[in-house]
Structure formats: C-alpha cells, structure tokens
Amino acid sequence: MADTADVLIVGAGPAGLTAALALARQQQSSFVFDEGSYRNDTADHMNLIPGFDGTKPLEYREAARSNILSNYDQVNFLNVRISDAKKDDSSGVFILTDETGKSWNGRKLILANGVEDIFPPIEGYAECWGKAIFHCLFCKGYEQRGCSSAGVLAIGGLSKAPMALHVARQVTTLGKIVNIYTNGSEDLANDIAAGFGSVAPMTVDTRKIQRMILEADGAGIQLQFEDGSSKTEGFLAHTPVTKPRGPFAAQLGLALRPSGDIEAAPPFYQTSVKGVYAAGDSCGMMKNVPHAIFSGSLAGMGASQQIVAENLGQTSLFG
C-alpha cells in the first residue's frame, strides 16, 4: 500500500467513518487510523441513530465499515495507533507516524479520535461509568425509566445551579424522584433549591460521597457516603471533564476552547491550523453519536472542498 492519501483521518468511530464516506463521495482517498479504543467501549448499546438504535457500538462500527468498503475503494482502514502528527511547513503536507515508526502522508488531516474522560476522584466512579453513570440522557437512561429515584452528581461541569437543574429536569422524565448530590457544597445546594419551584420532584443532598458501587445485573448504582450512610439510585447523571485524546492538538499547535475542546470553526470544523479539521467529541459540547456523524460529514466536506479548490488553483471560500 502506498503511504500517501488525500486525507488522513485519525479515529474510526462515527465521526471518522462519516468523514471518510463524505470524501469517497467526491472520489478523494483517505487513510482511517483505528487504534481500537473507544470512549463508549463500556456501553452495552448506542442510541439516537435510526436503524441502529439499541445496537452495540462495535456492531455499528463493523456494519458501517463493511458498508463503506463494499461501495467505495477510496477508503483504507488501518488498525494501528498514531503517535505523532506534524505539518511540513514548506509543502503543507501532513505527516503521521504510527507506533511502528512508519510515516503516512496526506494533504489534509481530520482528527476524529475523541476525548479522554477525567473522572472525579471518587472510588468506583470509573467502574460505574457508562453502566450506571450517564452523561447524555437522550443516549442513555430510557432503559431505567420508571425507577423510584435517580441522581444528579452536581460537581465539575454540573457544579453551577443552572446546569445542574438543566440535567435534573431531564432526569424527571425517567425517575420519579431526582436527588441532586452536591458532594459537600452547601452554597450550591441553596442555589439549586432556589430554582426548584413548588412542585418539582427534586431534592438536594449535601452528603460527601466516599465510593460508588455498581449494583448487580445493572440494577442501579449505590452511593456510599462519608458519614456511613448509603443510597441506591436507578442511575446517576454526570458529565466528567474531558480532554482531546492523544498528543496531536499540542503537536500541531491547535487552539483550544476554555472547556479544553479543540477550537473548530463553522461550517466545516476547520481548526486554527489550515488543513486540519476536527470532528466528534473533541470539538463539540454535545458529545454523542449524532453530533459525531454531523461534524464528521462536515469535516469531510471541508477537507474535500479545500482540496478541489487547490487542484484548480483557486482560493476556497472557507479558507
């Protein structure tokens, strides 16, 4: 196999798959690098994609890859981890180096390899993540509907009353009672309680959480508190802090948003470095499969239109 393609795509999840598909539709070649590790590896199913709702993430990726390969010969999937990314300033070519030391060249680069979650320092959180702790209640939680109570962990990204209440309102459609845990913050508890109204099925709990335990057979999550008490919830809603996966943003000198996400401009998600596009969780507040597909398609279109303009000796409308 030649080591040069029109576009290099790091990540073979929904964002990377869709970007490759968009490029193939304009007869542009791509290498899609898949290191085999995904944020939703712990999830039993994915949702919000018509025709694949409730499908295991692996089954979706395999079906999508098979469909692409059966219709297009412009896409090559490579099961290898990329360790280094750089742009040759003289030629404008992007060079990726994989874990074996082999280099791959492309005219454009799409980063679609997602984010790393930075879990709060609570024992058991990681084991419960994706099983009983959900960051998107349109993606998860429906299967737990009707539970007697569910919780919101109001720390990190949910440590402001408006955001905690925003998520708590979603929980009310799935659980009969919503318990909002401030993990020791009395001030936040007062701010949240002030936004309840008189009929909301919400309570605030300020006890500090010592550990979390996944209940057997997915029956919920047990919270054990520092005072020795405990409470079992049908599920817990929380959004952990994230950072772009891999060293590539730093290696390429990409601008980041205050949230830590890659700064990618509309409409095609081009980053602060010309020719580098981002797609999926690393560049959007909504970290779910529909956004990954949406941004992946636009990143692919953006890279494609830039290539065509350059081939014609013209300036692209979008940089």
Class of domain 125-237: alpha beta
Fill in the amino acid letter for 56.
K
From-to residues of CATH 3.50.50.60 in the chain: 4-117+241-312, 125-237
Region 18-42: mean pLDDT is 96
CA distances in angstroms from 238 to 10, 64, 76, 235, listed in the order given: 28, 29, 37, 10
Mean pLDDT score of the chain: 96
User: What is the CB neighbour count within 10 angstroms for residue 140?
Assistant: 24
pLDDT of residue 238: 98
pLDDT of residue 193: 93
Region 165-179: mean pLDDT is 97
CA distances in angstroms from 160 to 220, 245, 316, listed in the order given: 25, 26, 42
Backbone angles phi, psi at 117, to 5 degrees: -85, 135
- Name the H helices within 129-181: 161-171
pLDDT band for position 38 (cuts 50, 70, 90): very high
4-117+241-312 under CATH 3.50.50.60, yes or no:
yes
Look at residue 36 and tell me whether its pLDDT is greater than 70. yes
Over residues 70-104, the pLDDT tens digits come to: 999 999 999 999 999 999 999 999 999 999 999 99
Dist CA 118 CA 135 (whole Å): 13
pLDDT band for position 218 (cuts 50, 70, 90): confident
Percent share of the chain, pLDDT over 70: 100
Dist CA 157 CA 76 (whole Å): 38
Look at residue 52 and tell me whether its pLDDT is greater than 80. yes
Over residues 225-249, the pLDDT tens digits come to: 999 999 999 999 999 999 999 999 9
pLDDT band for position 1 (cuts 50, 70, 90): low
Region 16-45: mean pLDDT is 95
pLDDT band for position 42 (cuts 50, 70, 90): confident
pLDDT of residue 200: 75
